[in-house]
Amino acid sequence: MANVLIIGGGIVGLSSAYYLQKAGHQVTVLDKGDMTDSCSYGNAGMIVPSHFVPLATPGMVTQGIRWMFNSKSPFYVKPSLNPELITWGLKFLKKANAAHVEKSAVPLTELSMLSKKLYEDLSKEPGLDFDLVEKGILMFYKTEKAGEEEIHMAEKGRELGLDMAVLNAVECKKLQPKLELDVLGAVHYRCDAHLSPNKLMAALIKYLKAAGVKLITNTEVTKIETAAGKVSRVLSFNEEFKADEYIIAGGSWSPAIGRLLGIKILLMPGKGYSFNVKDDSGTMHIPALLAEARVAITPMNGGLRYGGTMELDKINDRINMNRVKGIVESVPKYFPALKPAIPEQKDIWFGFRPSSADGLPYIGRTKQYGNLIVATGHGMMGLSLGAATGLLVSEIVNGEPTTIDIKEFSPDRT
């Protein structure tokens, strides 16, 4: 069995630790923070096999340009001479075509379906309760154009074997009779589910500690040494860590870790916001996605979690209140009785989604170093794909054939 060092204590790092420990390996997880506020905590908690289309799509280019001139829009790229952003943008443009979308659908679906099955299994483990609910997700739309796009997507989803149903407004109302609607209809992604990310992360941390996994917090990697085509040790100021296998699972901080090794991990941090509103009425008990507004609403922990936006910029601590207002103002346009107040800044969570240029995660070994695995770049689906990524990482370390084909997720892809 191997001694494994994981850099990054988000959902991908902890899931990798879980499956590696189950396989009998000695595991250490390093995190630059305290593992209590990563991007894995504040997300919408959605498990989404329905999301088989990568961010890099033909329509996203023209739509993204329009959104850049609206301070409340759901997507924004800060214009910059940052070389990483330029490289990322050029690859995004190269991949934003129908052929890439078609090629990505099967591997993304397989990864998502594996992850959902693993979450179902995890939820039955003693001590791993994280409120997994399998009622699907409703993608609501207000306009004919959005409806056509979503219905087309549902047809594609069914071709991939996903359970999706197109509903009119009356059928939507039957599912949640108390919820006032102002929509044309919705696609019910019956294949999807949701959970409480806060409970999941806390349960995983508790389990891993009890199982003997070393969780080392507030430890930033400052140097990585190599020898003979392998990583030899990781340094954090005056501490050193040695292992047989090394995993980079640092989310949006992964490119900085890669640079210490001279490898390029092409991704940009996509800032997203969320906030919670207490609501125990049960009016909404199926999570909602608002097609035109790109907003997510999830029943969670005795309330509703509202989330959205994707700001591509350098990692920063700024809160753009206009983006938050955009989320707030969109909600009553779909649900007239739901009128969340604009939250105070202290009540707004934000995190950085590690977004690859082609919309696919990086999962696998690199050609530069024989004992290094990269597991990052999941964008808005980090939580959804976390369990599957963790299992795949453990299978790679074990030298076993992976449960699904991972060649499309290669960190060395061009």
243-301 pLDDT, tens per residue?
999 999 999 999 999 999 999 999 999 999 999 999 988 899 999 999 999 999 999 99
Span 6-12, average pLDDT = 97
Beta-ladder partners of 141 = 185
Span 345-374, average pLDDT = 96
Q: What are phi and psi of 142, to 5 degrees?
A: -110, -25
Q: At residue 61, does pLDDT exceed 80?
A: no
Nearest Cα to Cα of residue 317 among 351, 340, 285, 284: 351
Question: Binning pLDDT at 50, 70 and 90, where does residue 66 land?
Answer: low
Within 8 A by CB and 6+ apart from 332, the residues are 338, 339
Span 36-60, average pLDDT = 85
Cβ atoms of 247 and 5 closer than 8 Å? yes
Task: Please report how the helices 98-122 and 382-398 are oriented relative to each other, as an axis angle in degrees rounded to 10.
Answer: 80
The separation between CA 290 and the C-alpha centre of its own chain, rounded to angstroms, equals 18
What whole-number distance in Å separates Cα of residue 246 and Cα of residue 224? 11
Span 184-195, average pLDDT = 98
Could you write out the DSSP letters of every residue in 325-391?
Answer: HHHHHHHHHH-TT--PPPPPGGG-EEEEEEEETTS--EEEE-SS-TTEEEEE-BGGGHHHHHHHHHH
Instruction: Identify the DSSP state of 140.
Output: E
Span 206-217, average pLDDT = 97
Beta-ladder partners of 164 = 189
Q: State residue 259's pLDDT score.
A: 97
- Specify the residue for token string 């009890």: 210
Instruction: Identify the DSSP state of 127.
Output: T
Q: What are phi and psi of 305, to 5 degrees?
A: -105, 125
Span 310-324, average pLDDT = 90
Q: Say if strands 46-47 and 193-194 run parallel, antiparallel, or are unpaired.
A: antiparallel
For the chain, give the percent of residues with pLDDT over 90.
83
Structure tokens at 297: 């609403």
Q: State residue 381's pLDDT score.
A: 95
Q: State residue 396's pLDDT score.
A: 98
Q: State residue 77's pLDDT score.
A: 79
Q: State residue 118's pLDDT score.
A: 98
Q: At residue 125, does pLDDT exceed 80?
A: yes
Span 98-120, average pLDDT = 95
Question: Binning pLDDT at 50, 70 and 90, where does residue 18 land?
Answer: very high
Q: State residue 93's pLDDT score.
A: 86
CATH number corresponding to 3-409: 3.50.50.60
Q: State residue 178's pLDDT score.
A: 95
Least confident of 1-15, 82-96, 262-276, 341-355: 82-96
CA distances from 168 to 140, 150, 173, 183, 184 (A): 10, 12, 9, 9, 6
What whole-number distance in Å separates Cα of residue 397 and Cα of residue 319? 39
Q: How big is the chain by its Cα radius of gyration, in Å?
A: 21
Cβ atoms of 296 and 46 closer than 8 Å? yes
Bigger pLDDT: 98 or 118? 118
Cβ atoms of 327 and 308 closer than 8 Å? yes
Mean pLDDT rounded to a whole number for the chain: 94
Q: Say if strands 349-356 and 288-290 run parallel, antiparallel, or are unpaired.
A: unpaired
Q: At residue 120, does pLDDT exceed 70?
A: yes
Instruction: Identify the DSSP state of 237.
Output: T
What whole-number distance in Å separates Cα of residue 47 and Cα of residue 388? 11
Bigger pLDDT: 34 or 304? 304
Beta-ladder partners of 12 = none
Question: Binning pLDDT at 50, 70 and 90, where does residue 414 land?
Answer: confident
Question: Binning pLDDT at 50, 70 and 90, where does residue 86 land?
Answer: confident
Nearest Cα to Cα of residue 109 among 51, 187, 189: 51
Q: At residue 135, does pLDDT exceed 80?
A: yes
Nearest Cα to Cα of residue 393 among 381, 380, 406: 406
What whole-number distance in Å separates Cα of residue 221 and Cα of residue 30? 8
Q: State residue 69's pLDDT score.
A: 62
CA distances from 22 to 69, 191, 315 (A): 49, 28, 34
Beta-ladder partners of 312 = 77, 270
What whole-number distance in Å separates Cα of residue 182 and Cα of residue 336? 7
Instruction: Identify the DSSP state of 231.
Output: E
Q: At residue 197, does pLDDT exceed 80?
A: yes
Q: At residue 337, does pLDDT exceed 70?
A: yes
Question: Binning pLDDT at 50, 70 and 90, where does residue 19 land?
Answer: very high
Q: At residue 210, does pLDDT exceed 80?
A: yes
Q: State residue 121's pLDDT score.
A: 98
Q: State residue 60's pLDDT score.
A: 67
Structure tokens at 346: 């202290």
Q: At residue 64, does pLDDT exceed 80?
A: no
